Structure formats: C-alpha cells, structure tokens
Amino acid sequence: MVPAKLKIGDEIRVIAPSTSHSILSKENIELSTHRLEQLGLKVTFGKHINECNSLMTSSIESRIEDLHDAFKDNNVKAILTSIGGYQANQLLSYIDFDLIRDNPKIFCGYSDITALGNAIYAKAGLVTYSGVHFSSFGMMNGFEYSLEHFKKMLLEDAGSSFEVEKSSEWSNDAWYMDQENRKFYPNEGYLVINEGECEGTIIGGNLCTLNLLQGTEFMPNLKGSVLFLEDDKLTCPKTFDRDLQSLIHQTGFTDVKGIVIGRFEKVSNVTNELIKTIVQTKKELSHIPVVANADFGHTSPMFTFPIGGNVKLQVKKNDVKITLHTI
C-alpha cells in the first residue's frame, strides 16, 4: 500500500516514538512548525510527546497511544517523528498493525525510526518513508535540498517518479547547537564501487537499527530488494563491516539487487578507500551494483526515500542515476 500524497490543508501529526520531543528548543519547534505551515499543512502534536524519563523518552504505553491515535485519526494524513534516538524498537510488540493496515497514511523519519518504518512495511504492507524528522525543519541554513526532496516524494502533483539530484554541498555539524557557525563541504559526488543496473524494492535506513530486526517477525523480506544503508557517529570501519556482513547472512540476501550507501559522518573515519575495501572483500556483493556517498543518513542534506517503494539504480563509472517512484 502506498499512502496518498499530501495536499494543501492536510494535517500532519508529530509524535516522539524514540527520544522525547522535550529536548527540542523552542526556536526549533517554532521554525519547524512554520516551515510545514508554509507548505499549506496543519501541524498537530501527540499528547505525550513531551514526557521524559531517565532514558530521555516516554513510557511504552504513552508512545504507543500517540502512534495509534495518529493512525486512527481520519484528519491526520501524515505522521512525522520528532527526532531519533535509541528506544523505538521497544514498541514493536505493542503495535496494532491491523490498525495501520486499515488506516494507511504517510509515516516518515530516520535513524532510530528505521526500526518502525521497516517493521510497519513488513507487518502491515504499508510503504513508509526514511527522511527528515519534524526537528529537521528547524535547520536555518542548508535545508533547501532536504525540503525540495521531501516535497518531491510526499506532496501532491510532484509527479510519479523523479531522479535524485546530487547535492552541491553537505555538512556534518551540530547545527541544532549553533545555527550560525556552520561548515559546508563541496559534494564530490558518488563513490562507484560496483557498476551495474537494477530495479527493486527499497529496504533499509540506519544499518545498525535495521539489524535489530534480524530474526524477528518485523524484518522485511530482502528478496528482490535494493538496500539503502547508512550509519551514524557510533559506527567505525570495523563495526560497519560486521554489521553489513550480518545483513548479508540474512535469508533472502542472495536475491538483493543492489546497494546504495549513505554518506558517513566524519567522526566514523569510514573513508572512501575503506568503504571500497569493505565491499570488495564480500564476494556476495561482487555481482550487484554498489554505490556510496549518497545524500541520506546522519549528514545534511538528505533526500526522502520510500521503504517498500520502487527504485531504479544505474551505476556507471562517471554516471549514477537513482530514480525513485513515488506512487
């Protein structure tokens, strides 16, 4: 199931299934809300999002109630997660997937939200979206690319497919701590590791979070998929290598069609040469297209992509095309 796109006047519900919304600054909340309202959307908030315990989240019961309320409410057309964190997979056994299946709507977030997006697709058959959080809209500078690709994927009249554009520059700083002193780097383009062409169903997001689903009923079927994978500042070359290897060992991986790797954070020290080494040591990947340094993950900006949606991937030495289907 592909949820209906957003149109002017639609309501977006913000929920916090991971870290509490209460950690966001007043300025962030105001700018994020303003930006969404500029798109013609109405912004509402889950009633428990500001609860905060010693783990910087709210109770499972509160988070489940907000999630279910958002899907139940016929006025709500899209659900945006406030921010990522660590505890989203606590919710999986408590989710009413029949409720979600009966009330399909846009669900979007990234990082820790990878657990929910992929589980909802696996259990309810609903296409979800790996993309900006609500809090991402509070970025004052360098947000244009992320906003444009959010609109291309999720807003009405944006078309049925589009080719992902390469950003002109990117950043990897704590922008939410200092909006004025930002550092941007020129985008040197994709890192082509294996050439080839393929088409398939997108599965993925944050690799270490996706791997939390291994061996459970919440893990999507990898057969016929194109994996979109990224990792955060807690990774390093060795942990990315073993996390990727763990995914390779999953049932259905022999039928994976290709891999797109999101740009790594600088602190991870995963260089282009190390990415190549990691991929090239895995014979299971030798026959499929693999490309890295794509504009998604824990650097900015990012494009929004559909988990369970279709992608066409064309990887040549000096030409990479990623075409996403939106309906």
Nearest to 222 by CA among 74, 118, 111: 118
Nearest to 128 by CA among 245, 44, 218: 218
Percent of the chain with pLDDT over 90: 98
Among residues 20, 230, 265, 300, which one is catalytic?
A: 230
Q: Which two tokens stand for residue 62?
A: 């509160």
Residue 230 annotated to the active site: yes
Examine the residue annotation and report whether 51 is marked as an active-site residue of this protein. no
Read off the tokens for 266. 């600088």
pLDDT digits (tens, 9 = 90+) for 247-266: 999 999 999 999 999 999 99
Please answer whether residues 99 and 78 qualify as being in contact, where contact means their C-beta atoms are separated by less than 8 angstroms: no
d(CA 179, CA 255): 44
- Extract the tokens encoding 38: 């500029």
- Distance of alpha carbon 242 from alpha carbon 249, whole angstroms: 11
In the chain, which residues have pLDDT < 70? none
How, if at all, do strands 196-206 and 225-230 pair? parallel
Q: Are 100 and 70 in contact (CB under 8 A)?
A: no
pLDDT for position 327 = 80
Of 322, 319, 307, 312, whose CA–CA distance to 115 is shortest?
A: 307
Please state, in angstroms and rounded to a whole number, the distance separating the CA atoms of residues 273 and 302. Answer: 23
- As a whole number of angstroms, the distance between CA 148 and CA 144 comes to 6
pLDDT (0 to 100) of residue 313: 98
**Gap between the Cα atoms of 207 and 322, Å rounded:** 20
- Active-site option among 62, 111, 135, 136: 111
pLDDT on residue 139: 97
| pLDDT per residue as tens digits for the range 106-144 | 999 999 999 999 999 999 999 999 999 999 999 999 999
Instruction: Name the β-bridge partners of 261.
Output: 229
3 state SS of 196: strand
Selecting among 146, 265, 298, 300, the annotated active-site residue is 298
Active site residue 65: no
